[in-house]
Amino acid sequence: MKNLEDSFDRRKSKEEINYRFVGGVYPDGMPWSGVLAEVRINSSRIRWNFSTHTASSKPKPVTDLMKEYESISGKKARIAWNGGYILNPELVGKLGLPRLALRFLFPELILTK
């Protein structure tokens, strides 16, 4: 996390949302990757709202959840993520991943304005 903190662009961006791709290696040697989003939540131009919208019966792609959220709420999602991954036992075996990685899923978070 220290490396991510050190890599923030110290210039003051005028954009409300900035993002960049990040990656690294876990202590067990397994790689990870993702997207780091920076949001200016104290902007005087936009009042941000934080909403949670989850898949109730089965996992869904975050893009499907965004569309569902937008149709229900009438709000435009600006940032959304699922925060985890789901792997079936066969894939865990093929990839040689630890059993702990079998099922790991956080609630979806959607930022709107």
Does residue 62 contact residue 79 with C-beta atoms inside 8 Å?
A: no
pTM of the predicted model as reported, rounded to 2 decimal places: 0.53
The residues pairing with 19 across neighbouring beta strands, listed in sequence order, are: 37
Tokens of 65: 């959840």
Average the pLDDT over 62-76 and give the result.
Answer: 87
Does residue 23 contact residue 34 with C-beta atoms inside 8 Å?
A: yes
Residue 29 CB partners (closer than 8 Å, separation 6+) = none
Residue of higher predicted confidence among 43 and 60: 60
Q: Domain coordinates of the chain in residue numbers?
A: 2-112
Predicted pLDDT at 109: 42
The residues pairing with 36 across neighbouring beta strands, listed in sequence order, are: 20
The residues pairing with 92 across neighbouring beta strands, listed in sequence order, are: none
pLDDT tens digits, 5-52:
555 555 566 777 888 888 888 888 888 877 777 777 777 677 777 787
Predicted pLDDT at 90: 64
What DSSP element (H or E) covers 81?
strand 77-81
pLDDT tens digits, 74-110:
888 888 876 555 555 665 566 665 544 433 333 334 4
